[in-house]
């Protein structure tokens, strides 16, 4: 019986919409090359849902609308895999890889001439995907390698997974029965964005991408899975059944075939021998911090699947592949106590006192806990076994407690009511994260204030290190930064370790610092939110301390980079009587930079650019290079990131050069910097 024209037209539109949505899903989630905007895509989905709502009998399991979730299942069904889903043996250094190679070469001489494929070992959840006649019919977890759990409904929500393998003229053909192995994970950027959204909504955040993805896929409500930004990469065929077709015979061919069917596949490097494979591992290791996903090593595979099969297994590990692990960056250890540091602005910062543990090649005894809210949100307790992470040069931090390891003897932590340095009551305002000691005479703050004031980037008082600062404070010679300019030689000679020459040198350094420019003094004062960059901008905008002291909130916010919070902090700092007293003493001591001409707010050759300086330059000192860049409108930071415009390179550079290369940051020498600024150097 024929359908009415209107019904037939809707049915045709339904099929057209499904093809369009699947195609644009593929462009977005697999190729990362979308052709339409999010709004246009949403309109296609709205129309598709409208037609299916009007004709529920037309809804099929592979419809894109079914990715949004289905009614919760009562329990997971067990799934027997068509072939063992095996783990790999591990190597933790180059010697271990070479030993593996020598063992398998003795078993089969063809190994010596074999090519290798090297892939990142993505830290996700292994999934097994079943297709019949090109239609996704079942998905399972790895389980014990023989039997997994049926998570088909949850996997349908993963947009990178093809619900139907498209049939296209001239394209590869899918077999009647195909089982593919892959790794489901949450990309790092998506994970961080998700946690920010959850934090802003007042909901609990997650510790790491891998556990979050695994937990989302192994729970009973697909709608919850759909709310997590899980994606997928595939890399192995477990079953291939079709008398008309032949399966791929190598790792290279497998990845190419899966890609041609519309699957996202793991990136891989083909290597002609073991030395190239080891070099590929080194490259992956160097890129570790810039990979879009968590990876804990590289997988080195013999390219020939027939050779892999002939080598067999040792225990449950296939001999033809090996996981060469990266140095561990996440470990667990005991949290013996929580200490509290008092910063130079009075901010109290908690830190973890740990049972010493090696992570990333470094013995770690202390780690950051960020702030007191973080401790409460993560329910971190003294005596917990905690998960610790160290990535690259980042200070180690505690991710959270290992709840399963709790014995009941752990103690909750309460933020201190008094400053651990001076015993005075601390302040904490509702809605703010930080806690502060507001006692201006707090010895912890005084020492740190002085240490910052005399530092190289501030007043640069050479010879006045932390030990001498402590001596001056303990002797009562210095009660604030202005007292440095009232020191006398006879006072210094009374201190341990001081003789005539040392005292003279220190006083000469103090005297030289009286003429430091306004930006350096502003940096030295330690106003909250005013670092080197902001200090330079404020000095350029106002020209003198007197003008800055008289500035209103709205005046301050006209300066680039000065938002309402920093503007308020500046106003508050200058309004405090104790700070006014310090400024009065500094003026009397002649530490009051002469007013400079306020720069016209016009274009500058380096405006909008951010620079990092490393190594020894031919004619510039580090400070001179920084001043040169700022004079021409640029900004200087200490660390290389994707936002860095240029790395200025001198002799004997450090690790910043490697980081710049890994991120693709352009590199300049001193001559190139001068040319960029429109100057020449004779």
232-244 pLDDT, tens per residue? 999 999 999 999 9
Residue pair 342/437 in contact by the 8 Å Cβ criterion: yes
- Arch. (CATH architecture) of 610-676: 3-Layer(aba) Sandwich (3.40)
Best mean pLDDT range from 102-116, 161-175, 379-393: 102-116
What mean pLDDT comes out for the span 495-513? Answer: 92
Residue 440 has pLDDT above 70, yes or no: no
Residue pair 523/530 in contact by the 8 Å Cβ criterion: yes
Q: Residues 387-411: pLDDT tens digits? A: 888 765 567 889 889 887 889 999 9
Averaged pLDDT of the chain: 85
Chain centroid offset of residue 65 CA: 33
- Domain 5-59 superfamily per CATH: Helix hairpin bin (1.10.287.610)
Residue 414 to residues 305, 365, 417, 518, Cα–Cα distance (Å) = 58, 22, 9, 42
pLDDT number for residue 240: 96
Nearest residue to 285 (alpha-carbon basis) of 405, 139, 391, 424: 391
Q: Residues 32-53: pLDDT tens digits? A: 455 564 446 666 777 887 888 8
Enclosing H/E stretch for 149: strand 147-149
Residues with Cβ within 8 Å of 19's Cβ and at least 6 positions away in sequence, in order, are: none
* Alpha carbons 89 and 320: distance in angstroms, whole number: 10
Where in the sequence of the chain do the CATH 3.40.50.10190 domains occur? 610-676
pLDDT number for residue 427: 72
Residue pair 125/309 in contact by the 8 Å Cβ criterion: no
Alpha helices in 486-531 (DSSP H): 489-493, 500-512, 518-525
Enclosing H/E stretch for 367: strand 362-368
**Is the backbone of residue 377 left (phi > 0), alpha (psi -120 to 50) or beta?**
alpha
- Top-level class of domain 330-412: mainly beta
Residues with Cβ within 8 Å of 577's Cβ and at least 6 positions away in sequence, in order, are: none
Enclosing H/E stretch for 326: none
Task: Output the six-digit token pair for 225.
Answer: 């899975």
Residue 138 has pLDDT above 70, yes or no: yes
DSSP letter for 606, please.
Answer: T
- Arch. (CATH architecture) of 443-515: Orthogonal Bundle (1.10)
Higher pLDDT, 414 or 29: 414
pLDDT number for residue 330: 75
- Paired strand residues for 240: 178
- pTM listed for this prediction: 0.53
pLDDT number for residue 56: 84
Percent of the chain with pLDDT over 70: 90
| CATH topology classification for 90-325 | D-amino Acid Aminotransferase; Chain A, domain 1 (3.30.470)
Residue 181 has pLDDT above 90, yes or no: yes
Nearest residue to 617 (alpha-carbon basis) of 646, 647, 655, 650: 650
Where in the sequence of the chain do the CATH 1.10.150.20 domains occur? 443-515, 518-588
What mean pLDDT comes out for the span 244-259? Answer: 95
pLDDT band at 67 (very low <50, low <70, confident <90, very high): low
Which of 28-42, 48-62, 64-78, 262-276 bottoms out in mean pLDDT, i.e. has the lowest? 28-42
* Alpha carbons 87 and 121: distance in angstroms, whole number: 12
Higher pLDDT, 463 or 576: 463
Residue 627 has pLDDT above 50, yes or no: yes
What mean pLDDT comes out for the span 351-357? Answer: 92
Q: Residues 588-622: pLDDT tens digits? A: 999 998 766 554 545 678 888 899 999 888 888 87
Residue pair 120/291 in contact by the 8 Å Cβ criterion: yes
- Domain 518-588 superfamily per CATH: 5' to 3' exonuclease, C-terminal subdomain (1.10.150.20)
pLDDT number for residue 682: 41
Residue 24 has pLDDT above 90, yes or no: no
pLDDT number for residue 316: 72
Residue 19 has pLDDT above 70, yes or no: yes
Enclosing H/E stretch for 223: helix 222-226
Would you please indicate which residues are annotated as catalytic (active-site) residues? Answer: 121
pLDDT band at 252 (very low <50, low <70, confident <90, very high): very high
* Furthest C-alpha separation in the chain: 112
Higher pLDDT, 57 or 505: 505
* Alpha carbons 476 and 469: distance in angstroms, whole number: 11
What mean pLDDT comes out for the span 178-186? Answer: 96
Residue pair 218/141 in contact by the 8 Å Cβ criterion: yes
Q: Residues 546-586: pLDDT tens digits? A: 889 988 888 899 887 788 878 887 887 788 777 888 899 99
Task: Output the six-digit token pair for 71.
Answer: 């009614």
Residue 156 has pLDDT above 60, yes or no: yes
Other Cβ atoms within 10 Å of 176 Cβ, number? 14
Mapped to the 3 state alphabet, what secondary structure does 379-421 carry?
A: CCEECCEEEEECCCCCCCEEEEECHHHCCCCCEECCCCCECCC
When computed from its CA atoms, the radius of gyration of the chain, rounded to whole angstroms, is: 32
Residue 71 has pLDDT above 50, yes or no: no
Residue pair 466/447 in contact by the 8 Å Cβ criterion: yes
What mean pLDDT comes out for the span 510-529? Answer: 89
Residue 362 to residues 8, 82, 281, 355, 639, Cα–Cα distance (Å) = 68, 44, 21, 13, 21
Residue pair 341/351 in contact by the 8 Å Cβ criterion: yes
Residue pair 295/326 in contact by the 8 Å Cβ criterion: yes
Residues with Cβ within 8 Å of 9's Cβ and at least 6 positions away in sequence, in order, are: none
Q: Residues 567-577: pLDDT tens digits? A: 887 887 788 77
Residue entry with tokens 């210094």: 492
Other Cβ atoms within 10 Å of 202 Cβ, number? 6
Where in the sequence of the chain do the CATH 3.30.470.30 domains occur? 90-325
Residue 273 has pLDDT above 90, yes or no: yes
Chain centroid offset of residue 668 CA: 26
């Amino acid at each position: 019986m024929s359908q009415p024209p209107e019904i037939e037209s809707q049915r045709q539109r339904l099929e057209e919409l499904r093809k369009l949505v699947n195609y644009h899903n593929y462009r977005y989630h697999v190729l990362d090359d979308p052709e339409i905007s999010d709004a246009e895509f949403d309109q296609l989905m709205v129309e598709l849902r409208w037609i299916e709502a009007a004709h529920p009998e037309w809804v099929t399991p592979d419809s894109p609308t079914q990715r949004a979730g289905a009614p919760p299942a009562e329990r997971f069904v067990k799934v027997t895999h068509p072939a063992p889903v095996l783990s790999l043996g591990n190597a933790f250094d180059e010697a271990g890889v070479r030993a593996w190679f020598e063992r398998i070469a003795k078993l089969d001489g063809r190994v010596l001439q074999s090519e290798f494929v090297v892939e990142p070992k993505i830290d996700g959840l292994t999934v097994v995907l079943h297709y019949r006649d090109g239609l996704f019919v079942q998905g399972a977890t790895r389980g014990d390698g023989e039997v997994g759990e049926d998570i088909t409904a949850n996997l349908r929500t993963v947009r990178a997974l093809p619900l139907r393998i498209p049939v296209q003229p001239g394209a590869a053909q899918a077999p009647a029965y195909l089982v593919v192995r892959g790794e489901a994970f949450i990309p790092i950027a998506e994970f961080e964005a998700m946690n920010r959204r959850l934090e802003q909504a007042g909901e609990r955040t997650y510790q790491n991408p891998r556990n979050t993805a695994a937990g989302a896929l192994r729970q009973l409500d697909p709608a919850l899975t759909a709310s997590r930004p899980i994606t997928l990469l595939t890399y192995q065929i477990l079953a291939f059944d079709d008398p008309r077709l032949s399966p791929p015979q190598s790792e290279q061919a497998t990845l190419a075939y899966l890609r041609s069917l519309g699957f996202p596949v793991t990136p891989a490097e083909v290597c002609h021998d073991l030395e190239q494979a080891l070099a590929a591992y080194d490259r992956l290791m160097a890129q570790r911090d810039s990979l879009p996903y968590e990876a804990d090593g590289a997988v080195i595979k013999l390219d020939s699947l027939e050779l892999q099969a002939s080598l067999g297994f040792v225990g449950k590990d296939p001999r033809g592949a090996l996981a060469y692990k990266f140095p561990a960056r996440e470990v667990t250890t005991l949290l013996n106590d929580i200490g509290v540091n008092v910063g130079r602005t009075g901010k109290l910062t908690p830190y973890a006192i740990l049972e010493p543990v090696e992570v990333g090649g470094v013995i770690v005894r202390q780690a950051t806990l960020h702030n007191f809210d973080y401790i409460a949100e993560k329910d971190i307790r003294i005596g917990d076994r905690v998960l610790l992470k160290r990535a690259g040069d980042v200070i180690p931090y505690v991710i959270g407690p290992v709840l399963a390891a709790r014995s009941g003897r752990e103690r909750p932590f309460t933020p201190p009511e008094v400053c651990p340095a001076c015993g005075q009551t601390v302040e904490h305002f509702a809605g703010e994260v930080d806690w502060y000691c507001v006692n201006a005479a707090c010895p912890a703050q005084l020492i740190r204030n002085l240490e910052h004031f005399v530092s190289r980037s501030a007043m640069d008082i050479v010879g006045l290190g932390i030990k001498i600062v402590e001596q001056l404070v303990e002797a009562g010679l210095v009660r604030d930064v202005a007292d440095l300019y009232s020191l006398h030689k006879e006072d210094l000679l009374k201190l341990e370790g001081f003789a005539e020459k040392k005292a003279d040198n220190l006083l000469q350094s103090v005297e030289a610092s009286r003429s430091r420019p306004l930006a350096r003094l502003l940096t030295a004062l330690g106003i909250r939110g005013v670092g080197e960059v902001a200090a330079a901008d404020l000095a350029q905008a106002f020209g003198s301390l007197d003008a800055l002291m008289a500035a209103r909130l709205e005046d301050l916010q006209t300066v680039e980079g000065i938002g309402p919070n920093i503007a308020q902090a500046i106003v508050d700092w200058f309004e405090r009587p104790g700070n006014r007293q310090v400024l009065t003493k500094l003026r009397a001591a002649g530490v009051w930079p002469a007013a400079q001409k306020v720069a016209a707010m016009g274009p500058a050759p380096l405006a909008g650019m951010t620079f990092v300086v490393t190594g020894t330059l031919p004619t510039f000192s580090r400070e001179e290079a920084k001043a040169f860049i700022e004079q021409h409108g640029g900004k200087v930071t200490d660390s290389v990131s994707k936002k860095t415009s240029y790395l200025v390179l001198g002799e004997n550079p450090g690790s910043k050069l490697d980081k710049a290369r890994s991120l693709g940051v352009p590199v300049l020498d001193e001559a190139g910097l001068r040319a960029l600024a429109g100057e020449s150097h004779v």
